[in-house]
Amino acid sequence: MTETTIALVTGANKGIGYEIAAGLGALGWSIGVGARDDQRREAAVEKLRAGGVDAFGVPLDVTDDASVSAAAELIEGRAGRLDVLVNNAGITGGRPQEPSSVDLAIIRTVVETNVIGVVRVTNAMLPLLRRSAAPRIVNMSSSVGSLTRQSGPADDLTTGPVALAYSPSKTFLNGVTVQYARELRGTNIKINAACPGFVATDLNGFRGVRTPQQGAATAIRLATLPDDGPTGGFFEDAGVVPW
Ligand SMILES: NC(=O)c1ccc[n+]([C@@H]2O[C@H](COP(=O)([O-])OP(=O)(O)OC[C@H]3O[C@@H](n4cnc5c(N)ncnc54)[C@H](OP(=O)(O)O)[C@@H]3O)[C@@H](O)[C@H]2O)c1
């Protein structure tokens, strides 16, 4: 009998994260639904279970050391290892974010969640991932973090609005992804960044043009990479996203 694959998705109570959980769950995997709010987490777990997914709740605020440590302990106690980590939780920090007038507190808050939160969760889970036969880490980035696209001809669907905190937080996250890939070179751990496209979720007041299910597709592909798949890359549905 083969062992069930164990995955943790952060920010899985709604939006793209929920659909990543549903998509990985449909593969027969056991899915940790990472979410900071008890009611929203339990509602998502119930909905996933009603859809046939082997889901379990993982209380998780990515900005909180104690919460992240407890999440690692919960998964260790339940499964003894982790196969796939999807760092999906993220915030925009709200608007406006024009550089000349940005509130510095917004930059700190966004970086704390979108970048430091990913490092915090990844480092807490790495000991469990190292026990997996094929560990995969997916960081939910965005093409708005692509410096190539930000500095090219404007196309609002892939560059978003001028946003000093949010866009550079995803550029920073891409850099973080590459540094992990370098350190983990020579191990069986693959780590990649994903762009979901412009997806209709709470994050953008549902102005996105893609469904959360469509937005989940690249992350699901990177979570299920074969052993000869890439690491240290940045991908969207159409292929590689330029840095
Ligand atoms: N939507 C798009 O067009 C788009 C495009 C590119 C990239 N992305 C990225 O995709 C990811 C998912 O976004 P989404 O569009 O699905 O947005 P969403 O519907 O707003 O979902 C964001 C999720 O992150 C969670 N979260 C935020 N801060 C957290 C924290 N400190 N600890 C734990 N969870 C936290 C939220 O939990 P609560 O419910 O508790 O707030 C929610 O579950 C984000 O990283 C986002 O930057 C989205």
210-237: pLDDT as tens digits: 999 999 999 999 999 999 999 999 999 9
The reply to whether 180 belongs to the active site is no
In the chain, where the domains are located: 6-240
Residue ranges of the chain with per-residue pLDDT less than 50: none
* Ligand 1: centre distance to CA 56 (Å): 19
For position 156, what pLDDT does the model report? Answer: 63
Question: Read out DSSP for 54-95?
Answer: EEEEEE--TT-HHHHHHHHHHHHHHHSS-SEEEE-------S
For position 154, what pLDDT does the model report? Answer: 65
Contact 198, 15 (CB under 8 A): no
How far is Cα 236 from Cα 195, in angstroms, rounded to an integer?
A: 5
Is the pTM above the cut of 0.95? yes
CATH superfamily placement of domain 6-240: NAD(P)-binding Rossmann-like Domain (3.40.50.720)
Task: Name the residue with the closest Cα to ligand 1, atom 23.
Answer: 11
Tell me the two tokens of residue 81.
């290892």
- What is the Cα Rg of the chain in Å? 17
| Among 167, 141, 170, CA closest to 156 | 167
For position 153, what pLDDT does the model report? Answer: 77
Q: Which residue in 166, 172, 180, 198 is the catalytic one?
A: 166
For position 152, what pLDDT does the model report? Answer: 86
